[in-house]
Structure 1
């Protein structure tokens, strides 16, 4: 099996600019997602803290949808897949985030002005991806980390989100 992206965060960009900053946010999200979802057991995947909340597998599906939307809005050409397993959702989500981050690092800042999120009835500038799909995904990754701890399988030891590596 090919190694999945985000076991560690890629090296720092050489310059500070808008696209590199957003790329680094995606890298941080990808790293947190990688380790938050690494080694989930069946009982973790099925876990929901209460009957009206999503279980972990449903959260993984939602995060995939968020990753797909962010990728698509910023020029990605991936095709939406109908995924239902933890392994598939995890792999495809990580690939989408890596593709998006790589593309952002190559994109001139001024290109961001050309991207719009097309909602059901109106268009929104790319800025809404930051407080929308990207921030929402971070929230849901945090839920997964919390829920796996509650179900008795905490995130692997040694994960350092500040440094972006696992010791």
Structure 2
């Protein structure tokens, strides 16, 4: 299977821009996790850091809260994800759901309806915080997945072009 980013939208809007960011995140995540081995799942670059599976479940947490913030309802709770692959499929589904929901919005002002309610902080925050928070954090962790698998001797598949959003 070769995953690639969807064609560009016909018009520029806030919702299409955020959806495109999510599509890029999906692309990077898909290829960062494609072809991992059992040995990769337990790899940790240094003692005291998360191993790749623990990092992966943190990415699930970010996908879960992002999807929930943008009006989605996750299919699975973390405790029901029994394998790396089941978590991977749910992460892809959660982000695809967010992207699709954003692309379907007719009015950028609908974004004002979405708020983040972090458990660690009092109050509600506008959707903007998902951009510099959950989405940017997820991209950072996807980069870690790519680095860790490379350090472990299993680089991501050849030909992945993040600019074009396809595997060459």
The equivalent residue for 1:157 is 158
Does the 8 Å contact 1:68/1:80 carry over to 2?
Answer: no
The equivalent residue for 1:48 is 44
Superposition pairs for residues 61-72 of structure 1, below 5 Å? 61-72=57-68
Gap runs ≥5 in structure 1: none
* CA-atom RMSD in angstroms: 1.2
TM-score by length of 2: 0.94
SS in 2 for 1:47: coil
Q: CA deviation at 1:99?
A: 0.6
The equivalent residue for 1:13 is 9
In 2, Cα distance between equivalents of 1:16 and 1:118: 28
The equivalent residue for 1:96 is 94
In 2, Cα distance between equivalents of 1:35 and 1:65: 19
Q: CA deviation at 1:84?
A: 3.9
Q: CA deviation at 1:153?
A: 0.3
TM-score by length of 1: 0.94
Which range moves more in the overlay, 55-64 or 80-89?
80-89
The equivalent residue for 1:119 is 118
Q: CA deviation at 1:89?
A: 1.1
Q: CA deviation at 1:86?
A: 1.0
- Show CA shifts across 1:56-112 (max 9, x none): 101110001101100100110224422242101110000001010000001120000
**Change in CA separation of 1:137 and 1:29 when aligned onto 2, cut-off 3 Å:** same
The list of structure 1 runs, each at least 4 consecutive aligned residues, that deviate by more than 3 angstroms after superposition, is: none
SS in 2 for 1:137: helix
SS in 1 for 2:9: coil
